[in-house]
Structure 1
Amino acid sequence: MSVSLLADYEWTGCGLAESWKPLSGGTIDVVEPATGQPMSRVSCALAPDVRASAAAARQAQGAWARAPYGERAGVFRRAAALLEAHRAEYAEWIVRETGGIPPKAMFEIDSVLHLCHEAAAMLTQPSGLVLPSQPGVSSIARRVPHGVVGVISPFNFPFLLSSRAVLPALAAGNAVVLKPDPRTPVSGGVLLAVLLQAAGLPPSVLHMLPGGAEAGEALATDPDVAMVSFTGSTAVGCRVGELAGRHLKKVALELGGKNALILLADADLDAAVMGGAWASWLHQGQICMSAGRHLVHESIAEDYAQRMAAKARALPAGDPHRQQVALGPVITEAQLQRVKRIVDESVAMGARLLAGGTHEGPFYAATVLADVTPQMPAFREEIFGPVVSITRFGSDAEAVALANDTEYGLSAGIYARDVGRAMELAQQLHVGLVHVNDQTVNDDGTMPMGGRGASGNGSRHGGPANWDEFTQWQWMTVRATPPAYPL
């Protein structure tokens, strides 16, 4: 193994040595968002590439699913060892390509290490049930792979969110066609594909196709793709779900969020300020679980707002690859302008700007808005930027009503010293994830991750949910003697 796991990668886009092939859509420039400068290039997939890859994956899937379970588990264990050995190399790519600070990159790597071990562990778990039956009949329900799973992953945590679907899908016996976001094709695709290839994954079991909407739509409609796992915006997720539904494919949609962080009157303010900062400013707020609304009891709202503003003013923003900063760049100019519009429009409607609201180049400052009402864009729209939006409430019932006043339903957090009261409130929230005395951005490869409403179609990734998503039940009966029938 060379010192650099990526040393042999041909950055003009053709791939790794002779085993990777150029794609038909030309190339995609890999741009460092902090500087706007191109770092490298990768090939770009179009619909014919998806068709060829899906067909090849279908051919390879059967042999992979039939391989001894220890052999398949070994691929994931070796991948974990390789990733640990090349941690610094992988972290540098994640920092530069996503604009995340180094601790964020290390979190992604640690999470993928965990997912590798979880994928290996799936291979030693029971994959079926013995059902009640009549004498002389064995009745078995067993989980079987779908065949080929298409994975479409986003730009914000690309290494983690690609791996979250690819690894359990492979462990369940599927082949995979992965389409990473064209803004992060290396972190979301190349890093994982190189890792698994080096770990011994057989040829054609995984195909990695960077590309745009054409490739994504082709994946959702291809006859050889039995399931699509999509993580990204609600608008695009609706389109993927529509296309997959027309072709009777299973589809798992993990979409956006407008998550509520609720502070009851007895909340520990020191803990809540730390949690609130993490929930809204981590990775510039570019996380589906970010706290998009801080709902704070009126008795502590002003104190909380001032503390958050003081913290915001102390957080430096800049190039995370070359400086020690708390916030990196917003991913694109278009996204930066979206953040600016939402903040400016909310201020024009009466929100108080206590900190931030400005940017230098792609670096948007940590921002605090107080007195936000449900009519304002900062309350209604998913910002995907480093903005704390504070809304007051007077009663638990009002807090619940405000929290549920959204089309989204992903995550929520509640701070309160009275845990029983907080749990009672939590049971009334229309979300897939809820945390008492913690903030909204929590992730663990052993828990079922997903939302409801505009945050997803009820699908889940992680832990026991991986069996639900990436396999289907098959009923099999076995009789020693064929039965007699009256007809």
Structure 2
Amino acid sequence: MRFTNSVNNEKEEAGVKYSKWNKLFINGVWREGSSRQRYINQNPYHGDALAEIKLANRHDIDEAYESARRMQKEWEQTPAPEKASVIEKAVAIIQRRREELVQLLIEEAGSTHSKANVELDIATAFMREAATYPFRMHGEMVPSVIPGKENRLYRSPVGVVGVIAPWNFPLHLAMRSIVSAVATGNGVVLKPDLQTFISGGLVIADIFEEAGLPKGLFNVVVADLGEIGDYFVEHPIPGMISFTGSTVAGRHIASVAGQHLKKTALELGGNNAFIVLDDADVKQAVSAAVFGKFMHQGQICMAVNRLIVDRKKYVEFIDVFKEKVLQLKAGDPADPETVIGPLINRNQVNKILGLIEKSVSQGARVVLEGEVRGNLMSPFILADVTNDMPIAQSEIFGPVAVIIPVENEEEAIRIANDSPYGLSGSVFSGSWERGLQVAQKIRTGMIHVNDQSINDEPHIPFGGEKGSGLGRLNGKWSLEEFTTIKWISIQHQPRSYPFS
């Protein structure tokens, strides 16, 4: 991926694979951005140019938000069956275009076949759940403590929602916020990550356009932060910002949004603990840990980050874990047999190698040393890690397993909680009752007994504690996040006041 100026555009565009994805989607029109800067997206595995686009500037953001606001009032009044029908049509389109979308996720996001198919399944499941939201935008009558008064509570859309989406599960994590906002009657402007502006942005606009969403309600701007700064967040039109990404970026967005009194939904990073107690079934735990650690190369906020293993099971766990990991194929994600594909960019590779080097210098033991070729990193396993080492304190976002030995249950709980993050986690025990008791002592938004940490269901609250975010998404919690409540009271008989 790289930036260019406006010179020699025709030559550059001639060399890209997906030349059709070269326009923004604003006010129902596919058009070029107004920036002088262009961006070329590249396949993270072999570096081939995928698409080139002229970026958006602040003028384009203005137009996108104005369009969303203009169309939102009409969309809010659209009958619930019509709203649901558009979403259901979008689901059908994704199913029909599945092969195309899988290929796009492989080429743009470095997804394996397995991960790309999982992503589409998750996205469509969440869309089907969101198709029920228009029928759940009902009011409520609540008794009053005042004689003769009637209290009514009305649920309304926020208005316009700005969505900032990440690159790791680009289609699903953008769609989760978009479809929730649209289903509850809002207008939307999406800013996808530059590295996945097709699968996490433009293709979603194409799907909703085909599904018949009113033109102008949903807009996509592809922009560089170096040019637009905080303008997308601080713009006066959106009443809410939904952000999925790093904790550092989330803190900044929360600060900017707070200055303008905007509502935020923040799904941020994780440093998820996978606890193996002294009565755990090691083979069962290893099977879960391998998936939870290496799904999408570990580039998932819910991925296993720290394997905290009781010393009574420590040696056995390492041996069985290493044996399983050695069977994972790393390589071209276009190969259906590949389990470990490339990281999204070289900066990510270099960051992880730095964490490994520093931690080994502090005493971590290399059980399995992976290989690095370009953006491809085969699995590393580090044992004898202490929780204060850089590799244990950071959200790795890569295929590095970190194993920390502990003496007992109490130490496992203490180390699991010794993190500024609190997104997901796991506890393995031979007794689910014991596992539940330990899980209740971990300060995290989500945790799973005798399962790995990557779990997400359309009707179950998703979100974290501490530095892992604010708010909850999915099901009725998304319905709450993307709406606001108005209290209207009616005094049916004259009221007696203290004075008048």
Q: Give the TM-score normalised by the residue count of structure 2.
A: 0.92
Counterparts of 1:200-349 in structure 2 under 5 Å? 200-213=212-225, 214-215=227-228, 217-322=230-335, 324-349=337-362
Instruction: Give the Cα separation in 1 of the matches to 2:290 and 2:208.
Output: 36
Farther-moved stretch of structure 1 (31-40 vs 472-481): 472-481
Aligned to 1:394: 407
C-alpha contact (below 8 Å) 1:33/1:362 kept by paired residues: yes
Aligned to 2:475: 463
Q: Does 1:128 align with 2:139?
A: yes
Instruction: Give the Cα separation in 2 of the matches to 1:260 and 1:48.
Output: 44
1:52 pairs with one of 38, 46, 63: 63
Q: Does 1:38 align with 2:54?
A: no
Matched residue of 1:472: which SS?
Answer: strand
Q: Report the Cα offset of residue 13 of structure 1.
A: 2.6
C-alpha contact (below 8 Å) 1:340/1:357 kept by paired residues: no
C-alpha contact (below 8 Å) 2:275/2:428 kept by paired residues: yes
Instruction: Give the Cα separation in 2 of the matches to 1:17 and 1:432.
Output: 38
Aligned to 2:118: 107
Q: 2:480 is aligned with what amino acid?
A: D
Q: Does 1:61 align with 2:72?
A: yes
Counterparts of 1:396-411 in structure 2 under 5 Å? 396-411=409-424
Change (3 A) 1:15 1:471: closer
Instruction: Give the Cα separation in 2 of the matches to 1:280 and 1:454.
Output: 20
Instruction: Give the Cα separation in 2 of the matches to 1:193 and 1:125.
Output: 25
What is the CA RMSD across the aligned residues, in angstroms? 2.0
Farther-moved stretch of structure 1 (143-152 vs 10-19): 10-19
Instruction: Give the Cα separation in 2 of the matches to 1:83 and 1:138.
Output: 46
Farther-moved stretch of structure 1 (353-362 vs 57-66): 353-362
Change (3 A) 1:186 1:456: same
Q: Does 1:98 align with 2:120?
A: no
1:421 pairs with one of 427, 434, 451: 434
Q: Does 1:75 align with 2:92?
A: no
2:198 pairs with one of 181, 186, 190: 186
C-alpha contact (below 8 Å) 2:270/2:302 kept by paired residues: yes
Instruction: Give the Cα separation in 1 of the matches to 2:431 and 2:406.
Output: 18
C-alpha contact (below 8 Å) 1:42/1:185 kept by paired residues: no
Structure 1 residues without counterparts, runs of 5 or longer: 1-6
Q: 1:449 is aligned with what amino acid?
A: F
Q: Does 1:22 align with 2:35?
A: no
1:88 pairs with one of 93, 99, 122: 99
Change (3 A) 1:363 1:260: same
Instruction: Give the Cα separation in 1 of the matches to 2:233 and 2:80.
Output: 29
Structure 2 residues without counterparts, runs of 5 or longer: 1-16
Q: Report the Cα offset of residue 52 of structure 1.
A: 1.7
Q: 1:138 is aligned with what amino acid?
A: E
Aligned to 1:435: 448
Q: Report the Cα offset of residue 46 of structure 1.
A: 2.0
Matched residue of 2:201: which SS?
Answer: helix
Q: Report the Cα offset of residue 350 of structure 1.
A: 1.2
Instruction: Give the Cα separation in 2 of the matches to 1:47 and 1:334.
Output: 28
Instruction: Give the Cα separation in 2 of the matches to 1:58 and 1:13.
Output: 21
Q: Report the Cα offset of residue 340 of structure 1.
A: 0.9
Aligned to 1:148: 160
Q: Deviations over 1:4-49 (max 9, x none)?
A: xxx9983333569982222122432121101111111234222221
Q: Deviations over 1:50-92 (max 9, x none)?
A: 1221122111110000111111111001111111111111111
Instruction: Give the Cα separation in 2 of the matches to 1:374 and 1:117.
Output: 41
Change (3 A) 1:397 1:329: same
Q: 1:398 is aligned with what amino acid?
A: E
Q: Deviations over 1:455-482 (max 9, x none)?
A: 112x111111112210111001235677
Change (3 A) 1:223 1:246: same
Aligned to 1:159: 171
Q: 2:242 is aligned with what amino acid?
A: S
How many percent identity over aligned positions?
36
Q: Report the Cα offset of residue 328 of structure 1.
A: 0.4
Q: Report the Cα offset of residue 324 of structure 1.
A: 2.6
Farther-moved stretch of structure 1 (106-115 vs 348-357): 348-357
Q: Report the Cα offset of residue 127 of structure 1.
A: 2.4
Q: Does 1:171 align with 2:204?
A: no
Farther-moved stretch of structure 1 (203-212 vs 148-157): 203-212
C-alpha contact (below 8 Å) 2:161/2:188 kept by paired residues: yes
C-alpha contact (below 8 Å) 1:98/1:184 kept by paired residues: yes
Aligned to 2:3: none
Change (3 A) 1:54 1:145: same
Aligned to 2:7: none
